[in-house]
Amino acid sequence: MKTSRTLVALATTMLAAASLTACSGDATADADGNTIVKVGTLKGQPHLYAPYFYEENAPEGVTFEIVTFDTSPDIKNAVVSGSIDFGVAGVPSAISGASAGQDVVVVAAAADGGSGIIGKEGLEGVESLAGLKVGYPKGSSQEILLRMTLDQAGMDADSDVELVNLPFSDMASALAAGRIDAFSSAELGPSTALQSGAVQVASPYETPVGKVNIGLYTTGALIDEDPELVQDVVDAHIAATEHMADDPADWAAGVVDTFGIDAAVVDTAVTNIWPRWEIDAEYTDQVTALIGQMAGLKQIESEPDVATLIDTTFVDAHASS
């Protein structure tokens, strides 16, 4: 497969010139008449990097523009509003949107993992967190993973540790400064802290939620309007995630080149991320467990139907082709 270096530069140039008119409704086209598909992702996140490999896998007549956001809810809202056509973002945001009655549908997995329960040197095992200050991003999947991991050890997150709500970007620096003793957060926080001498306290993946984290989603309206386009995008997404899994060195180098992040941190992070596209029974069960936990924590008012939230039509069609 071709390297992504030139294509990353192209995607960045296209982003700067991109309008935010969605192709569902009033399709936009480039100078050559290709349909422009706008895909949202997060800035500087290796587990959401797949869209940077879409262009080299684009089918004839389709070109991609990458639009970056600060949070997964921002991506979800842009998908729902029609500002972008697809989003690679956290599954909890799609769950929240569906719970609120928004038109959001997961059409492929994107990456598992990307989380960590990290602490100061000397901590070992979740039990060692008793009585300590533990950072977490409120309302995130990492909060759920922390609570479930503590619960499995017979500990109560609200009484056995002191929870400190912090932004994702502040976790590693707060730990280094001694403001917290440990944290549960998403990459690149865990890898940044590990590079500075912190330790992994416990695995966040040993709960019924497992490693489920990032998905590719769009709207039911676009699925109904142009299923062939959705299939084209899913096929490009599948090729991108398979390339990331097969060539993590190129994936990591692309993240470093695109965002200027320290290579050692990125190299550590990619070992904690598992690119994927398949939606199997285990994945659906993990999303179901995530929905239940979000409802229990009052992060959502009602539990969306998993069969409506997740549409396997396009990954199934790819697998059988």
What's the gap between Cα 214 and its chain centre?
3
Q: Is residue 122 located within the same domain as residue 183?
A: yes
pLDDT digits over 133-164, tens only?
Answer: 999 999 899 999 999 999 999 999 999 999 99
Query: Residue 145 belongs to what domain range?
Result: 113-200
Answer yes or no: is 23 within a domain: no
Q: What is the pLDDT of residue 317?
A: 97
Residues 48 and 72: their CA atoms lie apart, in Å, by 10
Under the banding of pLDDT at 50, 70 and 90, the label for residue 297 is very high
Q: Residue 282 falls within a domain, yes or no?
A: yes
Residue 274 pLDDT greater than 80, yes or no = yes
Structure tokens at 209: 């939620």
Span 84-125, pLDDT tens digits: 999 999 999 999 999 999 999 999 999 999 999 999 999 999
Q: Is the domain of 246 the same as that of 101?
A: yes
Residue 5 has pLDDT above 80, yes or no: no
Averaged pLDDT for residues 34-44 = 96
pLDDT, averaged across the chain: 92
User: Which helix (H) or strand (E) is 37 found in, with range?
Assistant: strand 35-42
149 falls within a domain = yes
Q: Which residue, 200, 220, 250, sits at the end of a domain? A: 200
Q: Which residues of 27-38 are buried (b: 16+ CB within 10 A; e: fewer)?
A: ebeeeeebbbbb
Last residue of a domain, one of 200, 235, 250: 200
Interatomic CA distance for residues 240 and 56, integer angstroms: 9
Q: In terms of C-beta density within 10 A (0-12 exposed, 13-18 middle, 19 or more buried), how is residue 158 classed?
A: exposed
* Total domains in the fold of the chain: 2
Query: For position 3, what pLDDT does the model report?
Result: 43
Residues 274 and 302 grouped into a single domain: yes
Check whether residue 104 and residue 126 sit in a common domain.
no
Q: Taking residues 292-317, what's their average pLDDT?
A: 96
Q: Are residues 148 and 189 in the same domain?
A: yes
pLDDT at 16: 37
The verdict on 216 and 251 lying in the same domain is yes
Tokens of 95: 């769950």
pLDDT digits (tens, 9 = 90+) for 195-209: 999 999 999 999 999
| Residue 4 counted as domain residue | no
Where a domain ends, among 200, 227, 246?
200
pLDDT digits (tens, 9 = 90+) for 220-264: 999 999 999 999 999 999 999 999 999 999 999 999 999 999 999
Enter the pTM of the model: 0.89
* Mean pLDDT, residues 31-59: 94
Note whether 135 and 257 are same-domain residues: no
> In the predicted model, is pLDDT for residue 300 greater than 90?
yes
Q: Which residue has the tokens 């729902």?
A: 80
Q: Are both 311 and 228 inside the same structural domain?
A: yes
Sequential DSSP letters for 88-145? EEEHHHHHHHHHTT---EEEEEEEEE-EEEEE-TT--SGGGGTTSEEEE-TTSHHHHH
Is the pLDDT at 4 greater than 80, yes or no? no
Q: What is the pLDDT of residue 27?
A: 52
Say yes or no: 195 and 228 in one domain.
no
Beta-ladder partners of 215:
89, 109
| 178 part of a folded domain | yes
Q: Tell me: pLDDT of 59 over 80.
A: yes
Q: Would you say 90 and 137 are in contact if contact means Cβ atoms under 8 Å apart?
A: no
Both 189 and 270 in one domain: the answer is no
- Cα separations (Å) of 194 from 2, 166, 172, 228? 32, 18, 9, 44
Cross-strand pairs, 136: 165
| CB contact set of 260 (below 8 Å; sequence gap of 6+) | none
Same domain flag for 135 and 61: no
Distances 111 to 47, 187, 191 between C-alpha atoms, Å = 6, 12, 17
The answer to whether position 232 is within a domain reads: yes
Confidence of residue 2 (pLDDT cuts 50, 70, 90): very low
63 shares its domain with 153: no
Give the per-residue pLDDT at 32. 77
